[in-house]
Amino acid sequence: MSTIITPFTDRRMAEIVEKVRSGERLNLEDGVYLYQTDDLLTLGQLANEANLRKNGKKVYFIENMSLYFTNVCESRCAFCNFRKDQGEEGSYTLSGPEMIEYVEQHIHPGIREFHIVGGHNNHVPFQYYVDSLKALNERFPDVTLKAYTAAEIEFFTRISGLSTKEVLEELMKAGLKSLTGGGAEILSDQYRQKMKVDKANVDQYLEVHRTAHQLGMKTHTTMLYGAIESHEDRIRHMMQIRDLQDETGGFLVFIPLSMQPKSKNAGIMRRNSAYEDLKTIAISRLMLDNIDHIKAYFINIGPQLTQVSLSFGASDVHGTILKERISHAAGALTPEGLTRKELVWLIQGAGRIPVERDTFYNEIKVYE
């Protein structure tokens, strides 16, 4: 496929098309312009062209489960409705055996990954987090542990007195294979101050992933958009991720996360528009030329828009998930998970080839 430049494509967009086609990296001004343009179809075609060069028509998914050991959290981020105080109604902290009991009630033989995140619970020691992974790894040795955000890792250094490298090494001994992407929010300290992101700062987030990559671990990374940040903030976020990827090559995928309101009853004016979601996916594909995959996260944007996003640069639709809680604790109106059959149907319906993968994008099964 080749992007069609029409008489309605302005000069600036035509210049960006030529930069992408010639392999020239987009800069800050290019990225901001792409947010400002109303030429959504040319933007989508260009992102689709870039994705097809990297991945062909293959679109990836994984059979996974989302697990949450605790929702008790010392941080009070302005956008979070998942966290609880210790002792507050609805708060919980599960032991390893309790989590194993939960998993055994819901797991099926196709599950390949546990996606584990939770609160920054300072009422338990670091060893609790190590033992949580160890218990799962011993009981389910064939399931990959993708666990904890960079912000959680930074929190662990504070409650343990260990360095980032030492924390990661202890968790790796317990079975950790990859980090989740959360905790990035917007990589701007000004944004984090305004949004009361009382956890890892920009440098700490990036340093955790840098250290993980140096230890041989491949990781995931995100951007939570749709609050007070500017389009320039978003592009600067992507460029910082791109710079670290140039340095380490350790990121597997970039995941733009559309922010959810705090109430399921919130009207459409309190949510990101489909237009903004598609633009962000497409721009992510074009800016992050050194990351193989851009994920469309159906939990936040819905299955139908996820399907459309496969023509706007996305090459991954995440996984089966099973009972997602963080976005749904806010105002997400989407399903808490999808089955393998539904994901295959969704991808094929977009004219793409579904590929079941493992955590590291090794292909398990191609659904021709």
Q: How far apart are CA 290 and CA 215, in angstroms?
A: 20
How many other CB atoms are there within 10 angstroms of residue 191's CB atom? Answer: 18
Q: How far apart are CA 296 and CA 239, in angstroms?
A: 19
What is the helix (H) or strand (E) element at residue 258, kind and residue range?
A: strand 251-258
Residue where the block lists tokens 């390949």: 112
Is 80 annotated in a binding site? The answer is yes
How many other CB atoms are there within 10 angstroms of residue 88's CB atom? Answer: 10
Residue where the block lists tokens 């997602």: 324
Q: How far apart are CA 140 and CA 116, in angstroms?
A: 14
Largest distance between two CA atoms of the chain: 64
Alpha helices in the chain (DSSP H): 11-21, 28-36, 40-55, 96-106, 126-139, 150-160, 164-174, 189-194, 202-214, 231-248, 274-287, 298-301, 303-309, 326-329, 340-349
Q: How far apart are CA 107 and CA 110, in angstroms?
A: 8
Residue of 322, 323, 305 lying closest to 314 (CA atoms): 305
Collapsed DSSP state (helix, strand, coil) of residue 111: coil
Q: Are 192 and 185 in contact (CB under 8 A)?
A: yes
Is 77 annotated in a binding site? The answer is yes
**Binding site listing for [4Fe-4S] cluster:** 73, 77, 80
> What are the binding residues?
73, 77, 80
